[in-house]
Amino acid sequence: MKLSPFFKDLSKSYAYEIEDLTYDSGGGNVLKSRLKIKRDQFAELLPMIEFEPVMVAPAFHGAFSFSDKALLEKLVAAKPGGFPTWKKLAATVKMEAWADKLARTALKSEGGEQFMLIAAGLEFILSGIGVAAAAGDAEPAAAPADVPSEEEERPLDSNDVGKDL
């Protein structure tokens, strides 16, 4: 899979952002809690979708299931202005029920369609074969760990107060 320079740069930043959200300073897995915070703050983060989509896109981490690999590959090979429409992509993407409200909110915002395409593209890249493409590898890498189960995650506590969540 070929990534456009646009998605190549963003996908590296996105992978680092997800990794940063995953662990607290003690190495505990807090991804689920931090993603909940991102989702709860989504309306406040919306002004960033046009200039810093990587900071907002984690709200959709784990939200998409992709059925049209060719269309997603076309998306991530393109730059803004050359993307397929969200309507065309959405017809081939299954979105988790919890993400529907976030998507509707984003799509009502200026730049929302492009943001949703970027978020879907970043999740596609991060979801398996796209990981290898983002790294420039020829072979697919193992898919990254998904949102941890309740047993794997340490809940946020008073030690997390004031930390960048």
Specify the pLDDT at position 136.
52
Specify the pLDDT at position 156.
52
Specify the pLDDT at position 18.
96
Specify the pLDDT at position 101.
96
The CB density around residue 138, as the number of other CB atoms within 10 Å, is 7
Digitized pLDDT (tens) for each residue of the chain, 165 residues in all: 899 999 999 999 999 999 999 999 998 999 999 999 999 999 999 999 999 999 999 999 999 999 999 999 999 999 999 999 999 999 999 999 999 999 999 999 999 999 999 999 999 999 974 445 445 543 333 344 444 444 444 455 544 544 544
In this prediction the pTM is: 0.79
**Single-letter code of the amino acid located at 77:** A
CA 79, 108, 127, 34 torsion: positive or negative?
A: positive
Specify the pLDDT at position 1.
83
